[in-house]
Homo-oligomer: A and B are copies of this chain.
């Protein structure tokens, strides 16, 4: 979705790309220019230099850009005949190719001082208008993004009109690197990846604890919402995946195996398993809506180049739900699901949830009518629930349109979490039925829905969103008890014992480090609460509560402290 200022920003950023190319042309005159567009987050320019650029070139180029900015050259734009343009670019095959591909007799040329570039136009007035910018990286690219073409060098950067937006962007960018979940995963001993299972996460104790709480939290919510939890096998026959359509539409992302010469797939989705449970016996209208939930581990192939920690892995667990219901029940079920998505995301601190309705993709099951019916049912449900949404054309699953939920994290990034898909195809392909009150057979519809989507990916989003400082209720270690001297150790151990009895995740610092050292260790471990015990606390039977951010509360009675920890743990 385009922000209101997006168009203006692209003018600035495209101009910044010219500024970059201008600087490069002065510093490395033998470089061939290709193209330099604005992007969502900034801009880039692809060059063919005499030698590859390095990170060390960036400050030099950036400095020259600042210098040209200070020259405050006017930017002009003119139309030129293609013949003249071809003369201008007689030694640049890339530009010649571009000129030939442009319709009409003329092409646009932008100029600032000695520098000129083939360009459709859309610039700021003077180079001095480009003030808040930064080069961010150099990488390899290909002419027209085709691996068979000439390899190029891409320099990318960003630019903003105002300092505040620029500073925020840079800060968020630094945060995103500093609080990359892969880095936090290592620092906080949460999970690891190993060459023996590329793309398959290994969860250590603290990481597994978080996943367990996420599971337990959702399990309780599902129970209250009338779901039944099931579990279905990891390996199922290839024929089943042919019947479901996954084999045709998805086989490049699936892993396969054999048993006794028969072909099996490692499941990439949980729906066919759920369907077999539905079909296990005749179903009555009295059982509908039948809400089957599964925390199902799936495997999906990803190219090794796009693997990205828990964000993009080859195995993950979906908080899957399949609701079998009558057409009349769709609206209520979709609405109930939307409410649950909102509640769950709110518990994790995500309030601003954007909703989109994704329609039929290019590669999908064939008939029009079920698609139209399903899309209109989802629209009705959204409209009646009074929920604002946008349309994402062609973003649906191959078997169903879907409602998607997007959250914004603390670094301003959007993440898709949660979908509701309304599926009229699978019930037909698997000949699902229920017995109506009249004793006849009827076809149920199937709603596929997930809230976290992938447990592992959602965990990673939480980690980055909270910059490693998970909220008290879900922190793998909630309380660390520190003592000023060893004299307070007995009191401290007693406190630990009482907290454990209340299922609080607590540990004691058994070292004899000075208190400042103990605090530092606990902070590095991102433990939300420290219970600091000194002589006074022992005398008064109290606790000093120190939060991970450094704030302190003194003289909390021991019982109050325990009660508060218990209260904050509720989910």
A256 to B260, CA, bound (A): 12
Does A348 sit within 8 A of B, measured CB to CB? no
Please tell me if A202 contacts chain B, counting CB pairs below 8 Å. Answer: yes
Contacts of A256 in B (CB 8 A): 257-258
Contact mask for chain A residues 217-254; partner B; CB cutoff 8 A; 1 contact, 0 none: 00100000000111111111101100000000000000
How near does chain B come to A294, taking the closest CB pair, in angstroms? 9
Complex formed: what's the CA distance from A314 to B235 in Å?
10
A521 near B: Cβ within 8 Å?
no
Q: How far is the CB of A273 from chain B (nearest CB, A)?
A: 7
Residues of B within 8 A of A315 (CB): 233-235
A235 cross-chain contacts in B, Cβ below 8 A: 197, 200, 255, 266, 299, 315
User: What is the 8 Å Cβ interface bit string for chain A, positions 181-219, against chain B (1 contact, 0 not)?
Assistant: 000000000001011111011111100110110000001
Q: How far is the CB of A18 from chain B (nearest CB, A)?
A: 42
Residues of B near A209 (CB, < 8 A) are: 229
Q: Does A541 contact B (CB under 8 A)?
A: no
Cα distance A196–B237 in the bound complex, in angstroms: 5
Assess whether A276 is interfacial by the CB under 8 Å rule: yes
CA A236 to CA B266, docked complex, whole Å: 13
Does A277 sit within 8 A of B, measured CB to CB? yes
Which residues of chain B have C-beta atoms less than 8 A from A299's C-beta?
Answer: 234-235
A304 interface residue (CB < 8 Å to B): yes
Kindly state whether residue A301 has any CB partner on chain B within 8 Å: yes
- A280 CB within 8 Å of chain B: yes
Check B228–A205 contact: CB distance below 8 A. Answer: yes
A196 touches B236 (CB 8 A): yes
**A201 contacts B233, CB within 8 Å?**
yes
Chain B neighbourhood of A198, CB < 8 A: 259
Minimal beta-carbon separation of A315 from chain B (angstroms): 6
Residue in chain B with minimal CB distance to A189: B281
A231:B259 contact, CB within 8 angstroms: no
**In the assembly, what is the distance between CA of A205 and CA of B229, in Å?**
5
- Pick the contact of A297 from B234, B260, B272, B277 — CB < 8 Å? B234
Q: Are B212 and A230 in contact (CB under 8 A)?
A: no
Q: Return chain B residues, CB-CB under 8 Å to A239.
A: 196
User: How distant is the Cα of A292 from the Cα of B238 in the complex, in angstroms?
Assistant: 35
A570 CB to nearest chain B CB (Å): 13
A212→B295 CA distance, assembly (Å): 12
Q: Mark A313-342, 1 if CB is under 8 A from B, else 0.
A: 011000000000000000000000000000
Whether B232 and A202, one on each chain, are in contact in the complex, defined by CB atoms closer than 8 angstroms, is yes
A202 to chain B, nearest CB (A): 5
A468–B260 Cα distance when bound, in Å, is: 34
Contacts of A203 in B (CB 8 A): 230-232
CB distance from A523 to the nearest CB of B (A): 21
Assembly CA distance A417 to B229 (angstroms): 27
Q: Which residues of A in the span 256-314 have a Cβ within 8 Å of any Cβ on B?
A: 256-260, 264, 266, 272-273, 276-277, 280, 292, 297, 299, 301, 304, 314
Complex contacts, A230 vs chain B, CB 8 Å: 202-205, 208
Bound CA–CA A239/B301 (angstroms)? 20
Q: Which residue from chain B places its CB closest to the CB of A272 in the assembled complex? A: B196
B residues in contact with A297, CB < 8 Å: 234, 297
Chain B: which residue is nearest A229 at the CB level? B208
A236 to B314, CA, bound (A): 12
Alpha-carbon gap, A429 to B145, bound state (A): 47
Q: In the complex the two chains form, is B255's CB within 8 Å of A231's CB?
A: no
Residues of B within 8 A of A260 (CB): 304
Bound Cα distance from A273 to B256, whole angstroms = 21
Contacts of A234 in B (CB 8 A): 200, 234, 266, 297, 299, 315
A311 to B276 Cα, complex, angstroms: 22
Q: Decide if B273 touches A202 in the complex (CB within 8 Å).
A: yes
A235 and B256 CA atoms in complex are apart in Å by 12
Q: Is the CB of B236 within 8 A of A197?
A: yes
Determine which of B202, B204, B228, B301 lies in contact with A204 in the assembled complex, contact meaning CB atoms within 8 Å. B228
A232 to B202, CA, bound (A): 5
State in angstroms the CA–CA spacing of A158 and B166 once bound together. Answer: 88
Cβ of A301: which chain B residues have Cβ within 8 Å of it?
Answer: 259
**Residue pair B277, A192 in contact (C-beta under 8 Å):** yes
Given A196-B237, A239-B196, A260-B304: A277 and B204 interface contact (C-beta under 8 Å): yes
Q: Which residues of B contact A197 (CB under 8 A)?
A: 232-233, 235-237, 276
Q: B255 contacts A202, CB within 8 Å?
A: no
Assess the B212–A229 pair: CB atoms within 8 A.
yes
Nearest B residue to A297, CB-CB: B234
Expressed in whole angstroms, the minimum distance between the Cβ of A496 and any Cβ of chain B is: 13
Supplied contacts A192-B277, A200-B236, A234-B315, 16 more A-B pairs, CB within 8 Å: A194-B280, A195-B237, A197-B237, A201-B233, A203-B232, A204-B230, A204-B277, A205-B230, A208-B231, A234-B297, A255-B257, A255-B258, A255-B264, A256-B257, A256-B258, A266-B266
19 contacts between A and B (CB under 8 A): A196-B236, A196-B272, A196-B276, A197-B235, A198-B259, A200-B236, A202-B231, A202-B232, A203-B230, A204-B277, A204-B280, A205-B228, A205-B292, A208-B230, A208-B231, A212-B219, A235-B299, A256-B257, A259-B301
Top-5 shortest CB links A-B: A205-B228, A200-B233, A197-B233, A203-B231, A196-B240
